[in-house]
């Protein structure tokens, strides 16, 4: 893979055998039309179909396309980091392989980067495309929760991002095993500019994120990004303590003034509420302990099964 391009596109792909080549071709056509010299690094996230074979065939005919195959499905976030760690150009643009991040915006990303000198150019969805109502509600709920837990609003942000060399090098230094691309880019705090884009229809089979996967992704991202939920449980306990004090005084006053305390229902409700809160707090703490356990093992973030048309440099926190 040779060229002196200043841009590398990092494209994660999972089970995209049907449309990967046509989509990559559409991207390359757009680059030619816009007169942009760019390399492509496609990361096959351990697909179980023929995505890798298709990709290798495609890459063998083109000098500016390279591929990495992860040994199994590690998830889109990890795939993105595997790709980013191989970028050697001045800029890198992360985009989906299903053309939902339309390549016609690449020119705009570069223009904004040159104009503003920002290290991160963020694609912001001005129209979320066709998403089911349940997905929309779920996404909204997740971002609202994340915002209240960590104060960061990622509502309309996407993984469609252009990163400068400085931002790429910074991201490659991150040591944690579970990565949340959007969150970490935001955390880095580098100067950011935005490019509004409208999400196109998905080219290929349906989305790879089932509701269960989305839920897991949401919990993982939240845990990876913030430890505020633990503080929230502490806040709960303080509130409960205040409630206990008030109710305690009320009960004692009743007792000494000779009124018999009748309150079986109150008692049951209180016990249930307390039980729920204790279990909730234990659950939250448990989730973080599980994450600590995962992190202290210091396993590589991903393993590379194969590469094509690419001489890999050292993978940051991954191994061959
Ligand atoms: N993807 C991936 N690994 C996965 C799931 C998805 O690399 O485990 C890729 C997928 O091939 C696509 C991008 O991530 O290029 C976005 O996936 P998808 O379109 O299914 O998600 P959505 O657009 O619904 O967020
Ligand atoms: Mg998609």
pLDDT of residue 297: 94
What pLDDT, on a 0 to 100 scale, did the predictor assign at position 316?
78
Task: Decide: helix, strand or coil at residue 303.
Answer: strand
Tell me, using a 6 A CB cutoff, whether residue 75 lines ligand 1: yes
The ligand with the least distance to the CA atom of 80 is 1
The rounded Å distance from CA 45 to ligand 1 centre is: 9
Give, for ligand 1, the residue of 24, 48, 83, 96 to mutate: max count of ligand atoms closer than 8 Å to Cβ. Answer: 96
pLDDT at site 129: 65
Looking at the CA of residue 74, tell me the nearest atom of ligand 1.
8
Contact 83, 43 (CB under 8 A): yes
Residue 3: phi and psi, rounded to 5, are 175, 160
Tell me the CA–centroid distance for residue 161 and ligand 1, in Å.
15
- Which ligand ends up closest to the CA of 19? 1
- The protein residue with its alpha carbon nearest to ligand 1, atom 21, reads 207
Tokens 């960061």 correspond to 152
Residue nearest to atom 18 of ligand 1 (CA): 207
pLDDT of amino acid 210: 79
For residue 159 and ligand 1, the question of a CB distance below 6 A is answered with: no
Q: How far is CA 6 from CA 37, 164, 183, 312, in A?
A: 7, 10, 25, 18
According to the model, what pLDDT value does residue 255 have?
Answer: 83
Residue 137: the pLDDT is 81
User: pLDDT value at position 128?
Assistant: 64
Q: What is the pLDDT of residue 236?
A: 86
The pLDDT value given to residue 49: 95
As averages over each run of 10 residues, the pLDDT of the chain (320 residues) reads: 82 96 97 97 97 97 96 96 96 97 97 97 82 79 76 80 97 92 92 95 82 83 84 87 88 82 79 89 93 93 94 78
CA gyration radius, the chain: 24
Ligand 2 center to 185 CA (angstroms): 20
């Amino acid at each position: 893979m040779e060229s002196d391009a200043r841009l590398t596109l990092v494209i994660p792909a999972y089970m995209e055998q049907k449309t990967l080549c046509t989509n990559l071709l559409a991207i390359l056509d757009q680059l030619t039309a816009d007169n942009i010299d760019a390399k492509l690094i496609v990361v096959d996230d351990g697909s179980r179909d023929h995505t890798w074979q298709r990709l290798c065939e495609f890459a063998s005919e083109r000098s500016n396309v390279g591929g990495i195959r992860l040994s199994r499905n590690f998830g889109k976030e990890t795939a993105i980091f595997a790709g980013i760690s191989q970028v050697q150009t001045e800029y890198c643009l992360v985009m989906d392989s299903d053309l939902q991040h339309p390549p016609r915006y690449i020119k705009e990303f570069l223009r904004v980067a040159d104009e503003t000198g920002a290290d991160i150019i963020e694609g912001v969805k001005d129209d979320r495309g066709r998403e089911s109502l349940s997905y929309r509600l779920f996404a909204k709920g997740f971002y609202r929760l994340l915002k209240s837990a960590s104060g960061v609003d990622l509502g309309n942000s996407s993984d469609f991002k252009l990163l400068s060399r400085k931002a790429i090098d910074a991201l490659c230094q991150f040591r944690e095993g579970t990565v949340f691309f959007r969150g970490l880019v935001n955390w880095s705090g580098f100067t950011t500019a935005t490019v509004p884009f409208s999400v196109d229809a998905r080219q290929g089979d349906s989305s790879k994120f089932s509701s269960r996967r989305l839920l897991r992704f949401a919990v993982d991202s939240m845990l990876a990004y913030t430890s505020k939920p633990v503080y929230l449980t502490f806040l709960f306990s303080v509130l409960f303590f205040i409630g206990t004090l008030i109710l305690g005084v009320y009960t004692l006053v009743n007792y000494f003034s000779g009124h018999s305390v009748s309150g079986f229902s109150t008692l049951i409700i209180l016990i249930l509420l307390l039980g729920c809160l204790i279990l909730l707090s234990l659950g939250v703490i448990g989730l973080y302990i599980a994450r600590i356990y995962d992190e202290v093992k210091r396993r590589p973030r991903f393993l590379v099964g194969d590469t094509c048309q690419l001489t890999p440099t050292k993978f940051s926190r991954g191994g061959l």
